[in-house]
Amino acid sequence: MTDASHASTTNPAAPLPGAGDGGPASDAGSGRPDTWASTDRGQLIDRAEVVVTSPDRNFVTMRITTVDGVTGLGDATLNGRELAVAAYLTEHVVPLLAGRDASRIEDAWQFLYRSSYWRRGPVTMAAIAAVDMALWDIKAKVAGMPLYQLLGGASRTGLMAYGHASGKELPELFDSIREHQEEGYRSIRVQTGVPGLESIYGIASNRTTAGNAGVRYDFEPAQRGAFPAMEDWDTRAYLRHVPTVFEAVRNEFGPELPLLHDGHHRMTPLQAAELGKSLEPYDLFWLEDCTPAENQEALKLVRQHTTTPLAIGEVFNTIWDFKDIIRDQLIDYVRGAVTHMGGISPLRKTMDYAAMYQIKSGFHGPTDISPVGLAAQMHLGLAIHNFGIQEYMQHGPRTNQVFRQTFTFTDGFLHPGDEPGLGVTLDVDEAGKYPYEQAYLPFNRLADGTVHDW
Ligand code: GCO
Ligand code: MG
């Protein structure tokens, strides 16, 4: 563990200005700390710590402890840029948490979001997310309930999950689909190699993450080392190949199995429209990230040409990023993650808004969402009415030692368990065995050397 901070509050028991009057403590510029008094002194935040650990991969976790000794965990992992979030938390957030009332989750969120002035962005929002999650964890523990009960109770008995099957060639892909089915998965993401391209996104056999030999990771793109790995790309070759893969998979596995595919932000709007159209005969559950996320107008063009359902948003940070594409009904699934969307509170709001347009959840759940973030998503997914599907790649055994978890995965369905809180405990000693290791996501170059979207 790299202990990015043990910034415990120095005098958490001292009454802070404003204590007792139940109102905001400070006027702008007065220099007085902003805090509201808790009616319950035990719920004041005693200390906040940031734990960076790298069991199978890097994770950043916030742990908040109240005066009463209740702890809450939050995930702040930003793949390939972990230490930026750890520093943001340590330097700029932890000092603000001292003496705050842990029960005021919405107020803490609004304070961190609005007082930073520089809003949004993946680093800021992952940091705020960690605080939000940790405070929900504390609130549910204090209430003695699993978090989903506080969010309204269960709307279903379990969460349909999809796994990542992949193979460079068809036989390897078919084996991978069968292995996933044997593990219980009832919905499968399909990624394959493309003839002529050596190394591309989404193929498990690409993995070279040091120290992972023998450990099953469906697909782990971040690779340990001092420089990002280079991969190849050729969109025309991809567009020719992918429909043939789905035709073969449907022929082999029949029409029932829900199949998903990730375009990983690589196509132009017209290319995405063409792919969506050519995949229609194979009845995809969704086509994900067909175009880069920056240009949301692009989806209008895609939508005009295809009825293949679209999922987008794993790189989005706020409800604002989803606002127009939900209102214009340009997507069918929200791919946000609690960890990257600023926490449980804003993702809940996004899903309630999406519900007005019959748009469902498809929360991002790769291995770079830590067990804490995944648990938070399971509680949210269980509670909301418009749950769609949950991505579930499975963490490695070392990660599962560092983070003890109560969730279950049975017959393809996830359930967060019924322990009070999120249902995750952090073994700090175990975490300490695995210091941070530099790791980067890969990048793409075309045949002529041009850098392309990865
Ligand atoms: C997915 C994602 C991941 C990302 C990864 C980047 O759909 O699961 O696209 O595979 O590439 O999360 O950190
Ligand atoms: Mg994706």
Largest CA distance in the chain: 70
Instruction: Please state whether the predicted TM-score (pTM) of the whole model is above 0.95.
Output: no
What's the rounded Cα separation, in Å, for the pair 202 and 368?
A: 14
**Active-site residue (options: 164, 180, 261, 264):** 264
pLDDT at 393: 93
pLDDT tens, residue by residue, 47-60: 999 999 999 999 99
pLDDT tens, residue by residue, 340-352: 999 999 999 999 9
Considering only the top CATH level, what class is 2-145?
Answer: alpha beta
pLDDT tens, residue by residue, 142-177: 999 999 999 999 999 999 999 999 999 999 999 999
pLDDT tens, residue by residue, 185-240: 999 999 999 999 988 899 985 443 444 444 445 678 898 999 999 999 999 999 99
Comparing C-alpha atoms, which of 280, 269, 270, 266 is closest to residue 231?
266
What pLDDT band is residue 22 in, cutting at 50, 70 and 90?
A: very low
Quick one: fold of 159-421?
TIM Barrel (3.20.20)
Atom in ligand 1 nearest the alpha carbon of residue 262: 7
Specify burial of residue 294 (Cβ count, 10 A radius: 0-12, 13-18, 19+).
Answer: exposed
Q: How many residues does the chain have?
A: 454
Residues carrying CATH 3.30.390.10, the chain: 2-145
What pLDDT band is residue 12 in, cutting at 50, 70 and 90?
A: very low
Nearest-5° angle of CA 176, CA 177, CA 183? Answer: 90
pLDDT tens, residue by residue, 395-444: 999 999 999 999 999 999 999 999 999 999 999 999 999 999 999 999 99
Residue 206 to residues 114, 219, 220, 364, Cα–Cα distance (Å): 42, 8, 9, 21
pLDDT at 40: 77
What's the rounded Cα separation, in Å, for the pair 385 and 401?
A: 33
Indicate the helix (H) or strand (E) that contains 230: strand 230-232
Indicate the helix (H) or strand (E) that contains 364: none
What's the rounded Cα separation, in Å, for the pair 368 and 80?
A: 9
For the segment 247-263, the average pLDDT, to the nearest whole number, is 98
What pLDDT band is residue 392 in, cutting at 50, 70 and 90?
A: very high
Substitution candidate for ligand 1 out of 77, 315, 367, 368 with most atoms within 8 A of CB: 368
Nearest-5° angle of CA 150, CA 153, CA 156? Answer: 145
What residue's CA is closest to ligand 1, atom 2?
366
Residue 241 to residues 169, 245, 415, Cα–Cα distance (Å): 11, 7, 37
Residues carrying CATH 3.20.20.120, the chain: 159-421
pLDDT at 30: 59
171 Cβ contact list (under 8 Å, min separation 6): none
What pLDDT band is residue 26 in, cutting at 50, 70 and 90?
A: very low
What residue's CA is closest to ligand 1, atom 8?
366
Position 199, amino acid: S
What pLDDT band is residue 77 in, cutting at 50, 70 and 90?
A: very high
Position 121, amino acid: G
